[in-house]
Amino acid sequence: MIRFGPAGNSDAFYEEGHKHTVEAMEWVARMGLNAYEVSFGRGVRLKEETAGKIGEEARRYGVALSVHAPYFINLATDDPEKIAKNTSYFLESARAARWLGADRVVFHPGSCAKMDRNLAFNMTIRNFSAIMNNMDEQGFGDLTFCPETMGKINQLGDLFEIIQLAKVDERVLPTIDFGHLHTRGRGAIQTQEDFRKILDALEDGIGHERTARMHVHFSKIEYTAMGEKQHRTFAEEGYGPHFEQLAPLLWEKRLEPRIICESKGTMAMDALAMKRMFEQAKAGRQQ
Ligand SMILES: [Zn+2]
């Protein structure tokens, strides 16, 4: 089943008087959404009891949960101290995912700002493989880990690198952030063909079945020469990429990703807009 949902809580959620993520599961389900991403970008601070309540609500309302691991993860290192820190960020995220009943852990692979890209990427592959083994040993072998395509050029995570990371292990699924691919290519996604090339590359790299289940982040993003500048909303004109170009391809290729919207403040509304675009594309094809 293709799923749509927000990353975190929208402005409207708070404006309507809601205060806590526990209430967000019913709120997104009533909008017609069925996914939600909990961000631990600035650290995993969720308590077990709260996570349990959020998880219960998510199951009650049929909302699939994912978590976003801390932004501090940087696998491009051979420093034992930093390797230990990375491992603990993964462990904390996995533990919180377990409490929530979330099945996917999204993470940013790392940076190559201060070193040769190939060297950085080789370290990343090596460290990630070790972390996957560690996750098995700690009893988190059933979680899906989702390395994300990144929006800045000096971050690891172009499409090719994410495909390579997904090949480390069968349980790994890519997080394709189309906004990030757009910005790291300085406006690389303009047409439906640009989307098609990305999907074709994924199918060539990891096969149709895993491509079909991929994790997706979609938002419109402003960029500069260095890549990503800031996230925008669907209501703001002049920013890409355009989901209406991707929607027919998802139906045509029978892909059923989980699509998370990271628009600034309007993530749930924009997730719903994408769901409608997908339904329209589907209806159009079936006639
Ligand atoms: Zn991310």
Host H or E run for residue 221: strand 221-224
Paired tokens of 49: 């009891």
Tens digits of per-residue pLDDT, 96-135? 999 999 999 999 999 998 899 999 999 999 999 999 999 9
CATH number of 3-286: 3.20.20.150
Where in the chain are the domains? 3-286
How many Å lie between the centroid of ligand 1 and the Cα of residue 68? Answer: 7
Neighbours of ion ligand 1 (CB under 5 A): 148
Do residues 90 and 97 make contact, with C-beta atoms less than 8 angstroms apart?
Answer: no
CA distances from 141 to 84, 93, 162, 225 (A): 19, 13, 20, 40
How many Å lie between the centroid of ligand 1 and the Cα of residue 198? Answer: 18
Do residues 112 and 154 make contact, with C-beta atoms less than 8 angstroms apart?
Answer: yes
How many Å lie between the centroid of ligand 1 and the Cα of residue 108? Answer: 6
Paired tokens of 78: 């051979």
How many Å lie between the centroid of ligand 1 and the Cα of residue 69? Answer: 8
Per-residue pLDDT of the chain (287 residues; tens, 9 = 90+): 999 999 999 999 999 999 999 999 999 999 999 999 999 999 999 999 999 999 999 999 999 999 999 999 999 999 999 999 999 999 999 999 999 999 999 999 999 988 999 999 999 999 999 999 999 999 999 999 999 999 999 999 999 999 999 999 888 999 999 999 999 888 899 999 999 999 999 999 999 999 999 999 999 888 888 778 888 888 888 887 999 999 999 999 999 999 999 998 999 999 999 999 999 999 987 65
How many Å lie between the centroid of ligand 1 and the Cα of residue 148? Answer: 6
How far apart CA 130 and CA 124 sit, in angstroms, is 10
How far apart CA 35 and CA 118 sit, in angstroms, is 35
How many Å lie between the centroid of ligand 1 and the Cα of residue 286? Answer: 34
CA max distance for the chain = 59
Residue type, 106: V
Do residues 176 and 217 make contact, with C-beta atoms less than 8 angstroms apart?
Answer: yes
Q: Give the Cβ contact number of residue 51 at 10 Å.
A: 24
How many Å lie between the centroid of ligand 1 and the Cα of residue 90? Answer: 14
Do residues 260 and 216 make contact, with C-beta atoms less than 8 angstroms apart?
Answer: yes
**Residue 3: strand pairing partners:** 258
What phi-psi label fits residue 107: left (phi over 0), alpha (psi between -120 and 50 degrees) or beta? beta
Place of tokens 């628009």: 263
How many Å lie between the centroid of ligand 1 and the Cα of residue 284? Answer: 32
How many Å lie between the centroid of ligand 1 and the Cα of residue 7? Answer: 10
